[in-house]
Amino acid sequence: MSLFGKLFGGDDAAPAPVNDLPLKLRLGGAVAYDDTMFKANAGVLGFDAPQGNQMIEALGKVDLGAGSHLYRFYLTDDAWLQVNTTGASIDDIKLFVYAETKNPPTKAEFVRWTEPGSQIGSAQVIFEGKSYARVWGDSPAASWTPPVAYDESVEHPVGGEANFDLTHYSMLYQREVPELPGRFEYLFVTAEDYGPEEFCVVYSLGVDVTSADLTIT
Amino acid sequence: MKRSSTAALLLMGVTPLMLTACGGDSHPAAAIKEQSYANIAYCAAAGNPQADCQRAFDQAQENSNAAAPHYKTREDCLKEFGPDMCQPRSDAHEGSFWGPVMTGFILGRMFDGGSSRYYGAEPLYRQRDGQDYRPSPGSYGGSFGSSRSGTGSVGGSTDAAGSRAVTASRGGFGSVSAARGGWGG
């Protein structure tokens, strides 16, 4: 029995720490992704899934308003699992793997990534020889639609790296995988703004994931 | 988040060198010019980039519920804006109300040295007397009318934009609602 329990006569069944994270994922925990689909269709997707148990090394949270949140679980091998929730329900789970990072040499060049005519927001993006169509934006016909701006706060396990926040200017793209009808590969392009002197543009490739594909420990 | 902490360290190692080139207080004063247009065609005909006109229109329309004057009844709205100029509207804060139809928009462009760029947009509503009703600056997120005018310097600013590379109004970007349920497939 805990000291607290001894002093106040409580029992050992003290409530566990409140964990409001979806799927019982937790910072410092681990997750393994069942990559059977990747193995059975080698070369069909533009990236490889992370192998084996992946530690959740950082957690990014985005409040999208209207009760909707994004949770990004950053994994050991340059991958991240994104869970999109509304209230207590899970709307969407995706696994993304970092594909390319660009470091604009000046602030002005970085800012141009967020402005009209930027690749972020163009109707389609050719990435590694494959064409991806824009998902967000009101008009599919518009040659450019503004990237979506939002803030993310990133936490690390206690005693780890310092927490920080950043502003994203993002656009989501997708292509239906010809070899796997009905399955989409996603290209997520985001301009990451950490501050007036720190920024980058990140391309990630991803797929839809179900909770059955995940082993969470 | 960045690719990895290794990449972060590399980036941190590189950026201070660039600071001397692009940072500092030598940023020239910038001016924001605002013009009102009835539609995208007039806006483009006035020499603005078509993409900016489209963006301003979209942004104004997106804000046109929250920015519209709120009336409890249709009659109250018609009194100010005239016949056929009122419609049911709603916003997240106050639910349903009557408000005027958007009849135009203001495009803000920042002139900085020799170049100019999109700065923000606001909806306009034509009043019964023919005057444009412009929502008071700051009445909705993304207003560029008040505190952001003046110099383009980012140094010393206390608002969130001052701690970022991008200082444009958040209202000029795509609706975050797209990212709520719109993860594709």
DSSP assigned state of B70: P
| Residues of A whose CB is below 8 A from B30 | none
Calculate mean pLDDT across residues A114-138. Answer: 93
- A179 inside domain: yes
- A128 inside domain: yes
- Quote the number of domains for chain A: 1
Q: How many CB atoms sit inside 10 A of residue B167's CB? A: 21
Instruction: Say whether residue B90 is in contact with chain A using an 8 A CB cutoff.
Output: no
pLDDT at residue A141, as a whole number = 78
- A7 inside domain: no
Instruction: Say whether residue A200 is in contact with chain B using an 8 A CB cutoff.
Output: yes
Query: How many residues are present in chain A?
Result: 217
pLDDT at residue A165, as a whole number = 93
- A38 inside domain: yes
Is the pLDDT reported for residue B20 higher than 60?
no
Among candidates A150, A154, A197 on the partner chain, residue whose Cβ is nearest the Cβ of B15: A197
**B148: pLDDT confidence band, cut at 50, 70 and 90?**
very low
**Record: contact A58-B1, CB cut-off 8 A:** yes
Let me know: does B129 contact A162? Beta carbons within 8 Å. Answer: no
pLDDT at residue A192, as a whole number = 96
Residue A180 CA to residue A199 CA, distance in Å, equals 36
Residue A84 CA to residue A2 CA, distance in Å, equals 37
Computed over every residue of chain A, the mean pLDDT equals 89
**pLDDT tens digit sequence for A48-62:** 999 999 999 999 999
| Residues of A whose CB is below 8 A from B174 | 121, 136-137, 145-149, 171
Nearest chain B Cα distance for residue A215, angstroms: 23
- A73 inside domain: yes
pLDDT at residue B23, as a whole number = 32
Report domain extents, chain B.
27-147
Provide the domain limits for residue A126.
19-216
pLDDT at residue A172, as a whole number = 97
Calculate mean pLDDT across residues B80-96. Answer: 84
- pTM for the complete prediction? 0.60
| pLDDT: which is higher, B10 or A10 | A10
Among candidates B22, B174, B182 on the partner chain, residue whose Cβ is nearest the Cβ of A146: B174
**pLDDT tens digit sequence for B55-69:** 999 999 988 888 888
Residue A63 CA to residue B180 CA, distance in Å, equals 9
